[in-house]
Structure 1
Amino acid sequence: MTNKPIVLIQAGTAPDKIRKEVGDYPSWFCSALDLDLENLEIVRVFEGEVLPSPDPARAAIITGSFAMVTDRLLWSETTAQWIRDAMTVEMPLFGVCYGHQLMAHALGGRVGYHPAGQEIGCQEIRLLDSAAADPLLTGMPARFAAHLTHLQSVIDVPPGARVLAASDHDPHQIIRYGRQAISAQFHPEFDREICAAIVRLHADSVREEGGDPDALLAQITSTAEAKALLTRFVEQALGRPATRAGDTLTLP
């Protein structure tokens, strides 16, 4: 029996309107990684699916969600415990948005609603001095564009964690928790069409907060540097290229 080397921990599903326009989380990550769905073990934890035992020979990516970490839903808290277990065996972990917040929560940090409201659209991420020696961020530009959409943020980072990047809105854009565990508040798996669909979905709330959704839509650009983090994570975790669409990646 073989295991697929990448576990996609799906923490939610996009609203019907988004799915009809641009698909859902699994297809977004497959596109960003240039992999077929068959190369991922997708575990829909938000529907109660059981995660495999943590395995340091595999890599796990924890997706975003339209849920809130502070609701402490049963599936979310169960996944938080799995994250703690995975950390003990140094399984490679990459959290995205909700996954970023859930990792911080699981490991002793504090998550809550951002006092300045939502961060959405294409925004600039700045690497901090602490990122200079990080193996995943080596060679990255000091500033790069990324797609974002979130109401909650990591308010306090876990003890011992290192903050590697920030934006004007959120000081905790990338957090390193250990040699094999990292997370990002932004969405490296988004493309311009996904980001635009998300902005249109939240247009009314953007206006309520004094923002201009049309201006946000006009500012959306490609985010190759942010996207590259996913590929680099998988390559470093598995020790081989991740971009093998059409092939089957398996582990003994």
Structure 2
Amino acid sequence: MKIGILQTGHSPDELKDDLGDYGDMFVELLRDQGFEFEIFSVVDNQFPASVEEADGWLITGSKHGAYEDHDWIPPLEELIREIAGIGDPLIGVCFGHQIIAQALGGKVEKFAGGWAVGRQSYDFGGVEMAFNAWHQDQVTERPEGAKVLASNDFCENAVLLYGDQILTIQPHPEFGSAFIDGLINTRGKGVVPQDQLDAAATKLDLPVANESFADQMADFFRKERA
């Protein structure tokens, strides 16, 4: 099965050589799942020629806002609607989570409550799972038919499921502690309140459920659909 990774941003230059770009992180996360991958850097207007170029799709995170005026966002939203229309599996992470919701009729905003940075716990119907997060924007209005799979007090729409075809998650199952540490010392400075950066730094050694969610992502891609 071939997964097309729609890369919507780049990791900081200071981290890219050692820890990879955003698309590379998902190749690494799903490395043992038996998939073939192709990365399309849509943030640089490198789009697939058609939705037939992959069997499933994944949209990465980004430093950009889904509501911002970039020339690559409208065609990405069109591609999302096309993928949804033909029924191919689609997974979105952070920005991917947000742009899918926006493309399908939801609303994304800069959250009045501020930032979520570093390790956060989420309630998956009574089961707690922790992931690294790095976001201020949130899905504040769900598209019709989107079901909440996980949330916490800060982020109501943390994980959404659209039928059996689209799965999206606000935190980052692809971010390990080394990358969060790097973000704290690069993009975080002067942008995220220092007390939040300091608090995130104290949790770098705590476990996260990245591998468990990678298995869920792989199962979702491979799921038989009508």
Q: What is the TM-score with the length of structure 2 in the denominator?
A: 0.89
Report whether the alignment pairs 1:148 with 2:133: yes
Alignment equivalent of 1:176, drawn from 156, 161, 168: 161
Alpha-carbon distance, 1:169 to partner: 1.3
* Structure 2 counterpart of 1:100, from 88, 97, 102: 97
2:224 corresponds to 1:235: no
Q: CA deviation at 1:20?
A: 4.1
Q: SS of the counterpart of 2:140?
A: strand
Spell out the pairing of 1:190-209 with structure 2 (5 A cutoff): 190-201=175-186, 202-207=188-193
Note the C-alpha offset of 1:144: 1.2
Pair 105,125 (structure 1): closer, same or farther in 2 beyond 3 Å: same
Residue 10 of structure 2 is aligned to residue 13 of structure 1: yes
Residue 217 in 1 paired to residue 208 in 2? no
Distance 1:227 1:204 in 2: 32
Which SS does the other structure have where 1:179 is aligned?
Answer: coil
**Secondary structure at 1:144's aligned position in 2?**
strand
Deviates more, 1:38-47 or 1:90-99: 38-47
Aligned length: 221
Residue 34 (structure 1) aligns with = 31
- Structure-2 residue corresponding to 1:25: 22
Map of 1:134 onto structure 2? none
| 8 Å CA contact retained: 1:70, 1:112 | yes
* 2:191 alignment partner, SS class: helix
Work out whether residues 5 and 58 of structure 1, in 8 Å CA contact, stay in contact via their aligned partners in 2: yes
Alpha-carbon distance between aligned partners in 2 of 1:207 and 1:239, rounded to the nearest angstrom: 41
Instruction: Identify the residue that residue 137 of structure 1 maps to in structure 2.
Output: none
Deviations 1:128-186 (A, max 9, x none): 37xxxxxxxxxxxx101100001211010001111111122111100112211010000
Q: RMSD of the TM alignment (CA)?
A: 2.3
Q: Quick one: distance in 2 between partners of 1:73 and 1:95? A: 19
Structure 2 vs 1, CA of residues 116 and 13 (structure 1 numbering), >3 Å: closer, same or farther?
A: same
Tell me if 1:157 matches 2:154.
no
TM-aligned CA deviation for residue 57 of structure 1: 7.1
- Cα 1:107–1:219 shift into 2, 3 Å: same
Q: Is the 8 A contact 1:188 1:228 kept in 2?
A: no
Cα deviations across residues 15-74 of structure 1 (Å, max 9, x unaligned)? Answer: 2123245221122112211259x9311101111112242249711110001111111422
Distance 2:163 2:173 in 1: 20
Amino-acid identity (%): 27
TM-superposition CA deviations, 1:56-97 (whole Å, max 9, x none): 971111000111111142211111111111111111000000
Match of 1:44 among 29, 41, 44: 41
Q: Is the 8 A contact 1:90 1:179 kept in 2?
A: no
2-structure distance, mates of 1:189, 1:156: 25
Q: Output aligned runs, 1:120-135, within 5 Å.
A: 120-128=117-125
Cα separation, 2, equivalents of 1:109 and 1:40? 29
Distance in 1 (alpha carbons) for counterparts of 2:54 and 2:41: 21
